[in-house]
Amino acid sequence: MSIILALKVDKKTPIRRGSTYVWSVIRDLTAGPGGLDRPVALAEILARLADTDHRTVRGFMRTLAAAGLVEALPGSPARWRVLKRPTQLPSLTRDGQRVASKSQQMWNTIRALPTFTAAEVAIAASIEDSIVQLNTAKTYVSLLSAAGYLKIDRAGGPGRPAVYRLKPSMNTGPLPPKILRTKLVYDPNRNEIVGPAEAEEVSC
């Protein structure tokens, strides 16, 4: 028998965790004239995060170091020097390799096209080394629509796909809204959950 567990999320509570937010903290700590000359300490980063332990942050900093964005400084406590401060954190593997983000590809496409179907998003968002599958585009478009990002221009039907457009008020910025494991939509531009804020977890 399955047990349904409802997870309530306060949409107005900032999400103070995750790689995007940690990078924004690092950028904030090194802002201003001479900011890159100021080391960033582990304790400073942790003080601005919620429910994130030092091992998670250390692992993330190792990824940034492998990507050439920071370098670890000798001694204790743990500190890093920031070498580069891109506004948008690139998608990185754990060992610091840059990878194409399919959500970024789809979000760029959705922002660029006046109207679109999920199939058109899959085709337009695909690049040579990062193909967006139709089911991936369908899921992303469906969840963005449910969250209130998209307007349905034409309802779908048998043999006829739905046509969507991005609402101007929901063109929130260049970073793609992320589909979390709970199937919530997280907008890193607003640093909050957008749309329906209840997820269900099924445990067997």
Distance of CA 199 to the CA centre of its chain: 18
Residues 6+ apart with CB under 8 A from 24: none
Provide the percentage of residues in the chain whose pLDDT is more than 90.
Answer: 62
Domains of the chain are 19-82 (1.10.10.10), 102-203 (1.10.10)
Token pair listed for 56: 């998670």
Question: In 67-203, where does DSSP find H-type helix?
Answer: 102-112, 118-125, 134-146
Per-residue CA distances from 134 to 91, 102, 108, 126 (Å): 21, 12, 16, 10
Separation between Cα atoms, residue 103 and residue 177, nearest integer Å: 8
83: nearest Cα among 97, 72, 62, 69: 69
Radius of gyration, CA atoms only, the chain: 19
The pLDDT assigned to 3 comes to 47
φ, ψ for residue 24 (rounded to 5)? -65, -35
Q: What is the pTM of this model?
A: 0.70
Residues 6+ apart with CB under 8 A from 3: 202, 203
Q: For 4-8, 36-40, 56-60, 139-143, which range has the lowest pLDDT when averaged over its residues?
A: 4-8
Structure tokens at 175: 């970073």
Q: Tell me the pLDDT tens digit for each residue of 77-111.
A: 999 999 999 998 888 989 999 888 899 999 999 99
Q: Which 8-state DSSP code applies to residue 2?
A: -
For residue 97, the SS3 value is: coil
Using a pLDDT cut of 70, give the percent of the chain over it: 88
Cβ(125)–Cβ(109) under 8 Å? yes
Rounded Cα gap, residues 170 and 29, in angstroms? 29
Three-state SS at 140: helix
Max mean pLDDT range (50-64, 68-82, 89-103)? 68-82
